[in-house]
Structure 1
Amino acid sequence: MDTQNLLFSLFCFFLLSLFSGQQQIVEGSRVSPFAFRPQKLFVFGDSYADTGNNRKALASSWKFPYGITFPGKPAGRFSDGRVLTDYVAGYLGIKTPIPYRWRKELAGRLKYGVNFAYGGTGVFDTLVQEPNMTTQIDFFQQLLNDSVYTKRGLKTSVALVSVAGNDYSAYIARNGSAAGFPAFIGSVVSQLTVNLKRIHGLGVRKIAVSALQPLGCLPQSTAQFSFEQCNATENTLVNLHNQLLVQAVNNLNKQTNSTSFIVLDLYDAFWTVFNQKEAHQVSPTFENPFQPCCVGVTAGFSCGSVDEHGVKKYTLCSNPKSTFFWDTVHPTQEGWQAVYSTPAFQNSLKQL
């Protein structure tokens, strides 16, 4: 074997070892009785679903201490371990699909689907230079044009579409206030509807789109209340988004005379976990669900940040399993496990 082939083989071995842990079904998952047996999962969206698409030079998900729980090192997930995609794949009984960026190096894994999600992105362009959802679907369509997948093969496929609020964060950053927010929410849901219809038109049998989680309860919002309460104004706007989304999904099912589209109820799932504390049924797992595990020590720093001398500028909790949130936006693996286990989330999945 010549040097070039040897290096390529070693590189492929590294990638396989990096993603090998994704092949196991996550703890607590099960294969439910489907009308069809899903064989592929295609993922679109943002950091709640991304498993390694973002560029290493730009994303915190490739920095320590991300990934310390799973797979044991930074691997592109915005958490200490598994994320939404892993739990949905586990429920379907299939292996977590590889990130789109590794499609050539790990071509043998394409049979399980592809993850097109990029952290920080949205339905529209946001504040990151990564592909928005329309472009992600373009990537998917190109794979179909290249005959990587066939229409017949897509009849046993499921799509996961994650929308975690980056469009709204970008709106606030650009406009400085929430003025005009209701109209913008309408435009986001309208474009999201176009995207869902397009994915279905390309041949995907079932499409699950996430409802917005209570954005006002993310640590970036609860910090001003010493991580003790949520921002009710933000959650009111979230409710508008979710109401419009449910209406849109119902209309899509009527238009297609099907039950192809479902909403994953992240909102109620998150609240179920949070309300354990409010009802004085404090779980030993999450003593304060709004307190993140990993945070920057001062403004301008975040989880994984280091200064010019390589000195870490963040604090890390002693046990990520004791916290619901990993950083100021994303759940821990234990947090996702708790969300996955709620009746609201399980009832949503049963519609697949």
Structure 2
Amino acid sequence: MELSTLIVSFFCFCSLITSGALGSAHHHHSRGHPTKLFVFGDSYADTGNVRKALANSWKAPYGITFPGKPAGRFSDGRVLTDYVAKSLGLKTPVAYAWRDAGVKKLRYGMNFAFGGSGVFDTLADLLPNMTTQIDFFENLFNESVYTKWDVQSSVVLVTLSGNDYAAYLEKGGTIQGLQGFIPRVVNQLALNLRRISEFGPRKIVVAALQPLGCLPRMTQLTSFQQCNDTENTAVQFHNLLLRQAVAGLNNETRRNHIFVLDLYDSFTTVLDRKNDTKGKLKFESPLKPCCVGTCAGCSCGSVDAKGTKLYTVCSDPKSSFFWDSSHPTQAGWRAVYTNLKSTLEQFF
């Protein structure tokens, strides 16, 4: 199999579109503890922005662990956003698509992340890229749904999990060309971070790229036995440039307020150890996903015309690190977050 085919095969892609109406927020502000979480990014952070008709995240068996039914998260349960909110002592912020669900829902911030999106357009302009997500936020800010004080007492989470690279290769980009494309992606991400920073949030947490070569979409080629080093080398280049960009931004503003969340190191640590840091969870075959499609072109959540399942689910999602071909289980996210929690809480 050619390397380009390999790379395309492991990225998370969903054809998704946005929807919704508007509400007005209930404002809280304190100088001490962060009062709100605002989120931008993709499926690693999305908690329900994708239209129901367009993504498997709204189909069984997604959400079986939490909240017990499909709810738009790309996992069996909680995702990164939920863990970051919890460590801030906040409830998970409402998804942008559900922003008209009442004033009370807006008090913990808002999640603008859409599964499948990137810093550039990824799927024929069907998905709001990160610039557009920030536009959504700015509109709410301009309409005083959120005030300057809300933002200044907030933390922002930004995830970028590889969809730009998948789109690049799908559109005919080459492996050789990736070396020039990676800096473009990171530069655009840095522009987005600078723009978010200008709204004045207290802290910004930006996720480093996870080891894409370890996603089940890649490791299925070795029966879920080993990661693809070529992919992971490209990821390390992305992460190096991201760290340099963040150091530059922190230097520019003379505020050490942007923090790189090292998902690469945390994923790798959990996958190598086959458990979380406390040793409570065991992942016997950490590269093998819990939920897998049972036919060519089938994925977790696929059904045929009669509604027959075209996937299988493992007996205990807690024993799997990965849920589907691209996303961790709730237990996987918990293990990843446990590794990062202490450094992140010091930063907050």
Using structure 2 for the length normalisation, give the TM-score.
Answer: 0.88
Q: How far 1:154 moved relative to its partner? A: 1.5
Q: What percentage of residue pairs aligned between the two structures are identical?
A: 61
Match of 2:4 in 1: none
Matched, 1:341 2:338: yes
Gaps of 5+ in 2: 1-29
Matched, 1:178 2:170: no
Query: Contact 1:68–1:80 at 8 Å: present in 2 too?
Result: yes
Query: Contact 2:206–2:260 at 8 Å: present in 1 too?
Result: yes
Match of 2:269 in 1: 272
Q: Provide the alpha-carbon RMSD of the alignment.
A: 1.8
SS at match of 2:232: helix
Q: Alignment length, in residue pairs?
A: 316
Query: Contact 1:265–1:345 at 8 Å: present in 2 too?
Result: no
CA deviations 1:63-89 (Å, max 9, x no partner) are 000000000000000000000000000
Equivalent residue letter for 2:342: Q
Matched, 1:236 2:233: yes
Match of 1:46 in 2: 42
Query: Contact 1:264–1:345 at 8 Å: present in 2 too?
Result: no
Match of 1:100 in 2: 96
CA distance in 1, matches of 2:179, 2:102: 43
Matched, 1:109 2:105: yes
CA distance in 1, matches of 2:281, 2:244: 38
SS at match of 1:75: coil
CA distance in 2, matches of 1:76, 1:106: 19
CA distance in 2, matches of 1:284, 1:248: 35
CA distance in 2, matches of 1:155, 1:83: 25
1:320 to 317, 320, 341: 317
Match of 1:61 in 2: 57
1:80 to 76, 80, 87: 76
2:329 to 326, 329, 332: 332
CA deviations 1:43-96 (Å, max 9, x no partner) are 000000000000000011000000000000000000000000000000001110
Equivalent residue letter for 1:70: F
What pairs with 1:112-127 in structure 2 (closer than 5 Å)?
112-127=108-123
Match of 1:28 in 2: none
CA distance in 2, matches of 1:291, 1:224: 11
Match of 2:129 in 1: 132
Match of 1:153 in 2: 150
Q: How far 1:345 moved relative to its partner? A: 4.9
Match of 1:89 in 2: 85
Equivalent residue letter for 1:140: F
Using structure 1 for the length normalisation, give the TM-score.
Answer: 0.87
2:67 to 65, 68, 71: 71
What pairs with 1:266-305 in structure 2 (closer than 5 Å)?
266-277=263-274, 285-305=282-302
Gaps of 5+ in 1: 1-33
Query: Contact 1:277–1:283 at 8 Å: present in 2 too?
Result: no
Which one scores higher on RCO, CA 8 angstroms, separation ≥ 6? 2
CA distance in 2, matches of 1:334, 1:298: 26
Q: How far 1:348 moved relative to its partner? A: 3.6
Q: How far 1:283 moved relative to its partner? A: 7.5
SS at match of 1:263: strand
CA deviations 1:9-29 (Å, max 9, x no partner) are xxxxxxxxxxxxxxxxxxxxx
CA distance in 2, matches of 1:176, 1:168: 9
Q: How far 1:277 moved relative to its partner? A: 4.2
SS at match of 1:340: helix
Moved over 4 A (4+): 281-284
